[in-house]
Structures are given as C-alpha cells and as structure tokens.
Structure 1
Amino acid sequence: MLVTEKQYVQWLEKENGKETLRHARWLSANNHQPPERIVVVDDTTTADEAYRLACAGTSMLWRGDFHNGRQLLQAINRRIERTNERSEQRKRKKAANKNKSESDHNQLPNLFHQQRQMQAQRSRLLSRLLLELDADYVSKLRRAPDVNAACMAAFGELNDEPCLLSLRDLQGALGAAQWRKKGVTIENLGLSIYPHYGVFAPTRNEYVQLLLDAPLPKACDVAYDIGTGTGLLAIILAQRGVGQVIATDLNPRAIACARDNFERQELSNIQLQQTDLFPTDAPPANLIICNPPWLPAKPSSPLEYAVYDANSTMLRGFLQGARQHLSEKGEVWLILSDLAEHLQLRTREELLGWFVDAGLTVKYRLDTKPKHGRSQDENDPLFAARSSEVTSLWCLVSTSYEP
C-alpha cells in the first residue's frame, strides 16, 4: 500500500533556456523515499550513462519517447544482470575451493540472503528512471499509452497535482490492470481469480488440489479463511458446501479484491472482515484455514508480505490463536511449503514444536510437489532447495480432540 502521508519531490529543469525549480507529488509502490538527486534525460542518453547514474544514486527524469524509455530500462536491467552474473561466477569460483558438501549444503542460507540482496539492489537501480504524469495521470511523452485507469486503481486520485513515479512502478500498475482484466485461471476449479493491484496473484496454485482432496470435518457449518488475499481459499470452501465462511485480511486492497471475486462467483455465504488474523464476534469454527507467507524473511515491499514473514510472526501468531477459535472437534488446515527448511531458515523440529506449544497435534498431512519453472531450472542458484520443495496441507486438531 502507498503511504497515506503525501510526499513531494523537486528538481531543476531548463525551460526556455532558464533553469526552473519544478515540484510534484512523489508516488512509490514500495514506499521508497523521494529521490534527492534528479537529472533530466532523453533519447540521447546512452544505456551505459544511465546505468552509471543509477549506480551513483542519481534518479533520471525521462523526457524522451515513451517506448524508448522502456527500452532504456531493459538495457539497464541487462547491465545489472551481467554484473550479477560476474559476481555469481566469482562466488562459485571461491566456493569451488571449499569442501563441495559444505558449498552445496551449508551455503544455502547465504545464497538465499545474497539473492535477496541482489533483488533489492536491482529494484533500487531500476526504480531510478522516472516519469512525470499530470493530475489526470496523463503523460506528455511521445507514444505514451493511456495509463489513467491503471494508475487510478493503483494509486488513487491525485487531487489536481502532477506526480513523479518510477517507470517500473508504472509498468507494475499496467501489469496489475491486465491481471485484473484477464484473471488467473485456476484449472482445478474451472474458474478464474482476478487479482487487484497490491494483492498477490495466485499463480502458484498447486495447493488447490490438496484443498479439494482433504475431507471436510463433519458438520462443517462455519469456516474461517485467515489472510484471504484474493479470496481463493474462501471460494473453495464455499463451493465445497461450507454453510458460512468468514474471510479476514488486514490489507484493505485484499478485502476489496476478495469481495470482487466473491461477487463474480455470486457467492453470498462469505463474510469479510478487515482485521489482523482472527475474526471478531464470530461463532467457533469447525474449520480454520490459512496459507501464510512461506519464508521467514523481512519483506522489502508491500507485495512481499504475501511471501515473506519476518521471524515467522504471522505463522506463529496464527498457530497460537487458532485453538481458542475452534469448535470442540474443529480442524486447522495449514497450507505451507517446506522451502524454508531446505534453505535452512527454519527446521521441521521448530515447526512441530510450534504446533505443540499451540496445543495442536497433527491429524494427517497431504503433500504435493511444485510445478513452477524455477523448481526445474538447474541454473537457479537455489535449485538444490527448490527442486526438493514440498507443499503440504497440515490438518491440525486440538490435543484434547477425541474422534
């Protein structure tokens, strides 16, 4: 989500041969601070020059052709990739001098954090190519597309003031608008889910079949979907015949997105609550389901909160609170990948210990293997972990549960 407090940026620009101080509202999808140094660039700026400026911490306001600006961004990205490849080669050469088993196994946590650092650095560099839009989200650049609807959905109204934002953020808004228009096909269900800007798209949905295969608890009248996101899990529960589904999320964008998807499916038995974890003033649940972020690491952008959970805070909070919201013979379905275990960011013993501490015990577990491309890519630095990944549905019940 964008910060609610407005921020502004200023820069010097030549107009009619004189330098004029300009200013505009600053927009950032990742809540980056306004740039301190801005230079004006155009079609005469080379990719090498733009890359050097970005590496030096200088932001560039693009005044050339819109499509040329996109090509410049791609060229900067290629230079980042070449730099990262050379860095990876040096690290592999250094690792080759060590014990191979140590390189393959004990270095995985370091590799993960290095990959995260490179991703963050890439994001910072690419975000330094900026565009100016007027108060109606209109660009005056040659061949600029109509971005008004996409920007309104992503950033809201500007209230009669121009804005500056990164070209990369604008591309993100345009891409999100396409996702929202076309949807993400969920083949197991024969339907599509329509993500909104700022809500994680369910492009990895191998766990859907687990939810269809797991037997519902007897007399499943009430179910909670904690951290509903797009609302996919709540839709599955409603379609499987659960009488009342209560879906929660702290993100207002997710609440709006889930509501949109429920209305598209014409589902009237799902209640939405914007809250942290568990609903308030709700009856005990026969089933509580949660698909939390899978990796215990600090998110670097709002969208990453769906993937990274610093110190496993959400996961542990969910487990600790689940039992008190369960009916006497209720079940918890936890959807969780073991990638964190293969990356040595969390152990299986820690996870099982959190179950015990929460007063929960494992009734059964269903497993599936990932199907996404990176799990098959042997050139991925984290291939050893990704190729071993298993996604599980853990069915948990209270330790006092009696069948």
Structure 2
Amino acid sequence: MSTIRWTEDHTHQSARWHSENGHPLPERTVAADDRVKAADAYRLACEGTALLWRGDFHNARQLLRAIGRRIDRKAPGAGSSPSESFHLHRRHSRHRARVLGKLLVLLDDDYTLALRRAPDVRRACLEAYGPPKGPTAVSLRELLGVIGAHQWRSKGIDVPALGTRIHPHYGVFAPVRGEYVDLVARAPLPSATRRSPATSTAFDLGTGTGVLAAVLAGRGISRVVATDVSSRALICARENDLVACNPPWLPARPTGPIEQGVYDPDGTMLRGFLSGLAGHLHPGGEGWLVLSDLAEHLGLRTRRQLLDAVHAAGLHVVGRMDTKPRHPRSQDTTDPLHAARSAETTSLWRLATRRASRAASSAGRGVTGAGQTACLGEVSEICRPWA
C-alpha cells in the first residue's frame, strides 16, 4: 500500500494513496485551503507538488477549473498532419491529467468528505472503490468522476434500440454513442441464426455495460456469452442482465481505466479478435465488427492494413452497414481533431470464414478504427476468450 505524507499544523500526517489512473505517489504534498491563488496552485502542480485541499468544496472545484484554463492556454495547435495533431493532442491530455491530478482531497475511513459544503460521497465511493480501507487521499478530479458515475448509474442512459435504460458503473465505458447500437439492431442476422433461433449463440468480447448483447437477445438470440478484462464491467453487465462487447477504437495508449474502452495500444485486441475468429465459427456463423474509421482519418491505421489482417485470418466480408456519428464532438470546430471527427463513419462489418462462403469474398472493401465486436451463429469453445 502506498502512503501519502504531509505536515499540517506542525503535525506529521499520513493516509492511504489511491489513483484509479495509476498516477504515482506525489513526491511532495502540502496542505492548501481557500487562501491559495490559482497561479500558485498551478505552478506547484506543474512542479510535481500535490495540494491536499482543506478548504471549501466548491472553491476547490473552482480552483480545479482555473488550473485547467491555465493548462489549456498552452495547448498545442494543429500539427502538420492528422497523426501529428492526434499525438500532440494525446500528449497534452496526459499532461493535463497529471497536473489536474495534483489537487487532492482526503476521504475519512467511512468515505466521508469532511470539507465545507461537501456533498455526501459515501455511496458513490463505495460503488466505485468497494469497502473502505481507512483514510484515503484521492485526486479531486477522480472524485468528481466517481460522483458523476454514481449519478449515471442511478439515472441510467436511455438506449432507444432497447426501449429501456442502461446503468453503467464507474470505470465502465458507457454507450453514449448510440449509432453503433443502432447498427447491431438493424444488421441482418447470419443464416445459421435465422435457421435455428432457439439454439442460436452469440459470443462477445469486451462486454462493457452489455448493451450490444441486450440488443442481440432482444432480436431472438437464445444465448449470449461475453468476456471482459474488467471485473467492474462483468458486474455491471450482470446487474443490467446483459452481455456485450466493446473493444477499443484507436491504436494508442490509454491514460486511465475509462480510456481502455477507446484506446487499444498497437491494436492488440483487434488483431487478437480477427486472428482467432475463424477458429471459433461454425459454418453459417458470423463475426460482427463495428468500427469507427477515425483511426484512418488520423493516419493511425490504413484500410489496407486491416483488410490484410482480415484476409490473413481466413475471413471475408459478407456485408457492411454505415452510419455517421451523432455525438457533439463531431460538430465542434474548435476541436483540434475536428477534420478527422467530422469525416468519421462507423460501420458494421459482417465477417465469415472464407471456407464457409467464398462467393461473398468480394463484398465490402476497407476497414479501419476499432469499435464493437460480436460473434453470431454457431460458436465453438464459447466460454474461452481467445484474444
């Protein structure tokens, strides 16, 4: 266990250190309150000093925003290419997360936040962190994320394709982009599933909240099996009575647990899915791969590279459905990645083994990005993830 130490009122104090993003223990920690100026707080945070907040809760939030504005004043402009713009953006995002993560708060041994005008965060922290293990220091930015996740979990997110709401847990990527869900709701089911829906099986990798499997179950798939590296995601899917898959979209390194739903270093999970798919499909079965082509527009992956991976895996494309993104960032002209986001298309690619149906091998051309994956139809070894 890592322990954070500081001096307050001439007394040495300590607490357990916790960071969901894996940020290292601060080299130095000082107590701070409403008297600290934003410029001084920003300078200390950039130098690596953490500030343990002892003042008013709402003032702490204002200070966090003030530090964020100072960071963003030095945000890089557009690079000479889309890929350079992306890497500059990611580097700035990591720097921003490190600096903002230096403003800390102390949770008591029952998760009480003993600050003036502080909300009751005990239930939210219990859901996110599990049973308390003594006084714990966390970043205010992380705590605000915990509070927001609790609100999402309580209220849920409406999913029109399901006619109900999904209740995502903290650290589980939420289905806020509904276009890929609509694709799974509309795509034609594979022949094996249509012939015998009562015995049909779907196998999903990276279930997340389980939204895609709920859609598949609603379409008559009798059994859906899913895996996920996140224990939180599996618990979330069970509580939603769902199973589904949500592999990452972009080949880059995530900065925290929630970004693992978006960034896949070197495209490892995507390649693993493709390379293992043919060996897990019986004749008539399909693998559905829902991909954003954002990585292509950013110069991080080419269509040819993924087509080659599909071919090398003994697969071919049965068909494809496209949709344009509806999320606000695709319309934000101030976003340094706006050109790529505005050109983005999300596609559902239906993949089958070449030996099963060579006649459709010429259907569809080009795949990039990363998104949702699902295997449908008869599946062998469905309980063993291969990626």
The root-mean-square deviation of aligned C-alpha atoms, in Å, is 1.4
For the Cα contact (< 8 Å) 2:57–2:118, is it kept in 1? yes
* One of 31, 46, 49 as aligned partner of 1:40: 31
Matched, 1:64 2:55: yes
TM-score (norm 2): 0.88
**Which of 107, 113, 126 is the aligned partner of 2:100?**
126
SS in 1 for 2:284: strand
**1:147 pairs with 2:121:** yes
Structure 2 contact 16–136 (Cα < 8 Å) conserved = yes
Partner of 1:209: 182
2:130 aligned residue: 156
Equivalences for residues 224-239 of structure 1 within 5 A: 224-239=203-218
Q: Counterpart of 1:10?
A: 5
**What CA deviation, in whole Å up to 9, does each residue of 1:204-235 have, x standing for no partner?**
12112211221111342111121110000110
Amino acid at match of 1:392: S
CA displacement at 1:342 relative to structure 2: 0.6
How far apart are the structure 2 equivalents of 1:188 and 1:246? 20
Determine helix, strand or coil for the equivalent of 2:109: coil
SS of residue paired to 1:23: strand
Contact 2:208–2:245 (8 Å) recurs in 1 = no
Q: Is the 8 A contact 1:8 1:23 kept in 2?
A: yes
Task: Compute the displacement of 1:379 (Å).
Answer: 2.0
Residue in structure 1 matched with residue 295 of structure 2 by the alignment: 340
Match of 2:150 among 166, 177, 182: 177
Distance 1:300 1:145 in 2: 27
Whole-angstrom CA distance in 2 between matches of 1:358 and 1:208: 26
Matches within 5 A, 1:106-121: 107-121=81-95
2:262 paired residue number: 307
Post-superposition offset of 1:57:
1.1
State the TM-score, normalized to the length of structure 1.
Answer: 0.85
Q: Which runs of 4+ in 1 moved over 3 A?
A: none
CA offsets per residue over residues 265-303 of structure 1, 9 Å max, x none? Answer: xxxxx6x6xxxxxxxxxxxxxxxx854211001112111
The answer to whether the 8 A contact 1:291-1:334 is kept is no
Three-state SS of the structure 2 residue aligned to 1:137 is coil
The AA in structure 1 aligned to 2:314 is G
Alpha-carbon shift at residue 144 of structure 1 (Å): 1.3
CA contact (8 A) 2:192 2:284 kept: no
Q: What secondary structure does 2:266 align onto?
A: helix
- Name the aligned partner's letter for residue 231 of structure 2: P
State the partner residue of 1:282: none
The structure 1 residue matched to 2:285, chosen from 330, 343, 348, is: 330
The question of whether the paired residues in 1 share the 8 Å contact of 2:33 and 2:53 is answered with yes
How far apart, in 2, do the equivalents of 1:333 and 1:230 lie?
Answer: 18
Matched residue pairs, number?
352
- Contact 2:318 / 2:352 at 8 angstroms: preserved in 1? yes
Q: Secondary structure, in 3 states, of the residue corresponding to 1:130? A: strand
Q: Structure with the greater relative contact order (CA < 8 A, sep ≥ 6): 1 or 2?
A: 2
Identity over aligned residues, as a percent? 55
The Cα shift of 1:22 comes to 0.7
The alignment partner of 1:327 has SS state of coil
Paired with 1:142 and 1:245, the residues of 2 have a C-alpha distance of 48
Deviation at 1:191, TM superposition (A): 1.2
Aligned letter for 1:183? G
- State the Cα deviation string for residues 105-132 of structure 1 (Å, max 9, x = none): xx11110000001111111111111111
Aligned to 1:277: none
User: How far is 1:323 from its partner?
Assistant: 1.0
Question: 1:226–1:249: 8 Å Cα contact kept in structure 2?
Answer: yes
Aligned amino acid, residue 395 of structure 1: R
The 5 Å alignment of 1:3-402 reads: 6-14=1-9, 19-84=10-75, 87-88=76-77, 103=80, 107-159=81-133, 161-220=134-193, 221-262=200-241, 290-402=245-357
Distance 1:381 1:143 in 2: 37
Does the aligned pair in 2 maintain the 1:59–1:129 contact within 8 Å? yes
Give the 3-state SS of the residue equivalent to 1:387 in structure 2.
Answer: helix
Q: 1:24 to 1:290 in 2, by over 3 A?
A: closer
